Structure 1
Amino acid sequence: MHDHDRKTTLSLQWLALPVMTALMAGCMALDPDTEPSHEDTVLEEHLSPSGFSSPSLAPLAETDWEVEGFARERGISYAEAQQRLGWQALAPHLDELLRADLGGRFGGVWVDAARRDRITVGVTREAFTEAEAVVRDAARKIGLTEGYDIVPVPRSLAEIERINDWLGDELEKVNERADATLTVGLRTDLNAVELQIPAEGRLTDAQRDLVATAKARLSDTVVVGSYAGRPTARACVYPYCDSPLRGGIRISNSGAGCTGAFVAKSKVNDALYQFTAGHCAYENYDDWSTRFTDGTSHVVGPVWHWQWHKGGDMAILRIKNVAGWDPEPWVYVTGGPDTTINSAYKIKSDNVSVLGMRICTTGAYYGRSDCGYVSQLGVTATYGGVTVRKLGRGSFCGTGGDSGSPMYASHVAYGLQVAGYSECDSLYQGIRAAESALNVNVLHAP
């Protein structure tokens, strides 16, 4: 995970750096055309690296800054980093297959940092022997011939998801109008649900009762911890680009500022949109704008649809002048300790995220792109007085104005940054859920 002292130092350094240099370098010359040990027996695949064939490795060669940044973080070679990110890129596909193939025997998929970032598959103990072959077959189907482990777990993913949903329902009630808010999310690596208490502020009687009830009723199915800071929506300022329109740029409306994310296309016609966070668009249907590098303001378009409630935090802007904007499936990746400037970073697909995977974000106010690791899924959190369900959480950094920021890794779109407990403890809306709710698809590059 992130070294938060390092992050704080770097953020202070970036406030003093000449931000406009990075901004101009990225946008002036554009081509217009995102654990505890198991004591039980672990079955591991130990095949030679030469047997590993992954479609994700080719794109990684094009964007070596992702591999180099990961290698620095882990203190490993470039080749080892490339291989681990290759495994990671296949983890969501494995998760999807095994949900269908194993059903109630499936205990979840996660990336285990303690095991060299190997993909770990949980299978219920009573079904472990028969499920082995199913997992191996699914892994072969997606080209994962090594780099994964199968471990027995006491509970199925479906069971801990039901508990997470129940706690989410209860949190909605007890967090309403509360000064300090509880939060909850899935921890597949612990085969449990993590209920967290804020380190700041006083809990209400109802919140304390819920924590006590959860401990008594759920036993080791719930892990109780704490979190620093408070969930805060991220809406505000920063980089601009000339056309084509892309993600990672500042958008503004009536004084409010957020970040524009991926370009999207309607599922029913050829209309094009730009993603952002739902709370940015809350009851505000006027045109949103951005700027070119010469400082001139240009309209992107009005809010077409938004959601900011228990169902999620996502919105799309209808792009008005499509011919003038010539939108592209790109993200303007700004420079940072984990990233290298790339004004035309291509998005080639989209997917769900898994616990432990590395994802990056480009916010319009933080001043640089940043990468981190997924720490929770299925999160229920309350911010701005609204309780939102089914969010992801990670150690990537952000600040006010970064709401709507694209979440990505290895050319795959994973979500939209929406809020944060503290600078490097952030929340994001999954992109697949946003596509479904808003009836659009992320635009993909060939």
Structure 2
Amino acid sequence: MTFDPDTEPSQDDAVLEDHLAPSGLSSPPSAILVEVDGEAAAFARERGISYAEAQQRLGWQALAGDLDEQVGAALGDQFGGVWIDAARRDRIMVGVAGKLGTDTVAAVQEVARKIGLTEGYDILQVRRSMAELDRANDWLGAQIEKVNDGAAATLTAGLRTDLGAVELQVPADGPLTDAQRELVAAAQKQLGDMVVVGRYAGRATARACVYPYCDAPLRGGIKITNSGTGCTGAFIAKSKVDDVLYQFTAGHCAYENYDDWSTRFTDSSSHVVGPVWHWEWNGGGDMSILRIKNPAGWDAEPWVYVTSGPDTTTNTTYKITSDKKSVLGMRICTTGAYYGRSDCGYVTQLGVTATYGGVTVHHLGRGSFCGTGGDSGAPMYASHVAYGLQVAGYSECDSLYQGIRAAESVLNVNVLHAK
């Protein structure tokens, strides 16, 4: 079964049309309007829509992560996922597995009301629950880790809630081993139409390597170095048990580079950020934190140094006010230290299993934002919300990121928020 992203519909169009539930379509215009340092203007250009419409759609998106978490808790095994559908004016889709009864619809609407989402979402019946998709994705991810070990070309897979499926991709330009071919066949046989098979270009490559520096306060989006290794420092974090401050970056950056990491001021003078405190680069994720060695001198702030790009304008003090889960289809941006400009794209997969640097990592996000070597650890954000850490890429604009909520949990820290 071949997946064509240009022709494949979101879920089953007949199901969608038959089971759309009212979600405030006749409500007054939403008060959730977002303008964040040119984000709405850039989004309006991308979509060919008005500035006001772009503000409104980004406002919906800013609440999608909350909707995903809280509706998932409310519906349990009936929860069929949340995603953003570009073909339907970037509205948020809420999937319900099984019967779409009045009680279920009311439960979703109550959650939406509580988080302040009065419009911009639709409730639809889907064939499979997130629990089913997660089990299939976890099984496939575990098998991929085995067959990718030592292979020149690697398989990758991730969740496509919009299709009610797991997407398994094979490399477009590399020979598969016998074990990899057998797994593709076994997945199709065992999962049936719960798996879609496609191709991807390039190779997943970790993005660890001179671009933006800032004077204090310390912030995300700057170049950090250790013994010749260059990466990007991400969000400032605070311990969950005391007031100690840290800076996020990618886990593979910290691997074998445990001592002090440094950055520079704009006068080119070098300054120590601090040593690696905790790192993970394994099946559980790709994340690390540096303990800030001179907190008084650095006076760290919950900012990102957003550089100018096709979708962004320069903002050296871009504030991070919250952190959330990302959802499929949402617009997301990144500022890497080496790419030379910030870039935005869309989330294309979640729950991704990918192999890079000989290590297989599960439960990553994937998107169409661009990056290059040295951008590992770069902050992923939108509308002042922290979503993750850039870690790798198959090609320049087919990239992978570590979700921020998982990183917070594993490393026992919280993203520092602006007040």
Counterpart in 1 of 2:47?
Answer: 74
Note the C-alpha offset of 1:125. Answer: 3.2
Report if aligned partners of 1:262, 1:274 keep a CA contact under 8 Å in 2. yes
Cα distance between partner residues in 1 of 2:249 and 2:109: 38
2:242 aligned counterpart, secondary structure: coil
* 1:95 and 1:108 in contact (8 A); partners too: yes
| Cα deviation, residue 284, structure 1 | 1.8
**Equivalent AA in structure 2 for residue 167 of structure 1:** L
Correspondences of 1:295-314 after superposition (within 5 Å): 295-314=268-287
Contact kept? 1:362, 1:406, Cα under 8 Å: yes
| Superposed CA RMSD | 1.1
The residue that corresponds to 1:50 in the other structure is 28
Of 142-151 and 392-401, the range deviating more from structure 2: 142-151
Paired residue type of 1:373: Y
Share of identical aligned residues, percent? 75
| Partner residue of 1:393 out of 344, 366, 375 | 366
Q: CA deviation at 1:44?
A: 3.8
Q: Any conservation in 1 of the 2:37–2:312 contact (CA below 8 Å)?
A: no
Match of 2:291 in 1: 318
Alignment match, 2:97: 124
Aligned positions of 1:153-172 closer than 5 A: 153-172=126-145
CA distance in 2, matches of 1:378, 1:223: 15
Distance 2:67 2:23 in 1: 15
* Distance 1:36-1:162 versus aligned 2 partners, 3 A rule: closer
Q: Paired residue for 1:409, among 379, 382, 403?
A: 382
**Equivalent residue for 1:272?**
245
Tell me, yes or no, if structure 1 residue 243 matches structure 2 residue 216.
Answer: yes
For 1:71 and 1:50, how far apart are their aligned partners in 2?
22
Alpha-carbon distance between aligned partners in 1 of 2:49 and 2:336, rounded to the nearest angstrom = 28
Shift of 1:264: 0.5
C-alpha contact 2:251 2:279 (8 A) present in aligned 1: yes
1:19 aligns with none
In the TM superposition, residue 222 of structure 1 has moved relative to its aligned partner by 0.3
Give CA-to-partner distance per residue, 1:302-349, whole Å, 9 cap, x none.
111100000000000011111111100000000000000000000001
| Cα deviation, residue 76, structure 1 | 0.4
Instruction: Indicate yes or no: 2:410 matched with 1:437.
Output: yes
Amino acid in structure 1 at the alignment position of 2:403:
G
1:38 maps to 13
CA contact (8 A) 1:348 1:445 kept: yes
Deviations 1:65-106 (A, max 9, x none): 010010010000010000000111111111111111100111
Aligned residues: 407
Q: Taking structure 2 as the reference length, what is the TM-score of the superposition? A: 0.95
Residue 304 of structure 2 is aligned to residue 331 of structure 1: yes
**1:372 aligned residue:** 345
1:86 to 19, 40, 59: 59
Say whether the 8 Å CA contact 2:24–2:118 is kept in structure 1.
Answer: no
For the residue of structure 2 that corresponds to 1:126, the secondary structure is coil
Give 1:48 deviation, angstroms.
4.4
CA distance in 2 between counterparts of 1:132 and 1:68 reads 34
Quote the offset at 1:37 in angstroms.
Answer: 5.2
The answer for unaligned runs of 5 or more in structure 2 is: 1-9
The yes-or-no answer on 1:137 pairing with 2:110 is yes
Structure 1 equivalent of residue 4 of structure 2: none
**Which amino acid in structure 1 is aligned with residue 373 of structure 2?**
G
Letter in 2 for 1:50: P
Q: Determine helix, strand or coil for the equivalent of 2:38.
A: helix
* Letter of the structure 1 residue corresponding to residue 165 of structure 2: A
Separation in 2 of the partners of 1:362 and 1:230? 22
Mapping of 1:351-362 within 5 angstroms? Answer: 351-362=324-335
- What's the counterpart of residue 355 of structure 2? 382
Give the SS at the match of 1:279. Answer: helix
Q: Which residue of 1 aligns with 2:157?
A: 184
Q: CA deviation at 1:130?
A: 3.7
Q: Which moved more, 1:311-320 or 1:36-45?
A: 36-45
**How far, CA to CA, are the matches of 1:164 and 1:237 in structure 2?**
38
* CA deviation string 1:372-409 (max 9, x = no partner): 00000000000000000000000000000000000000
Q: TM-score normalized by structure 1?
A: 0.90
3-state DSSP of counterpart to 1:50: coil
Cα distance in 2 between the residues matched to 1:99 and 1:266: 27
CA contact (8 A) 2:141 2:353 kept: yes
| Pairing 1:217–2:190 present | yes
Deviation sequence 1:140-179 (CA, Å, 0-9, x none): 1111111111111111010010000000010110000000
SS where residue 389 of structure 1 aligns? Answer: strand
Whether the aligned pair in 2 keeps the contact of 1:53 and 1:144 (CA below 8 Å) is: no
Q: Give, in angstroms, the shift of residue 49 of structure 1.
A: 5.9
Ranges in structure 1 where 5+ consecutive residues have no aligned partner = 1-34
Write the distance in 2 (CA, Å) between the matches of 1:234 and 1:127: 44
Q: Go from structure 1 to structure 2 and tell me whether the alpha carbon gap of 1:208 and 1:129 turns closer, same or farther (over 3 Å shift).
A: farther
Which runs of at least 4 in structure 1 moved beyond 4 Å after TM superposition?
none
> CA, structure 1 residues 389+315, in 2 after alignment: closer, same or farther (shift >3 Å)?
same
In structure 2, what is the Cα distance between the partners aligned to 1:224 and 1:312?
Answer: 24
2:102, 2:13 → 1: CA distance?
17
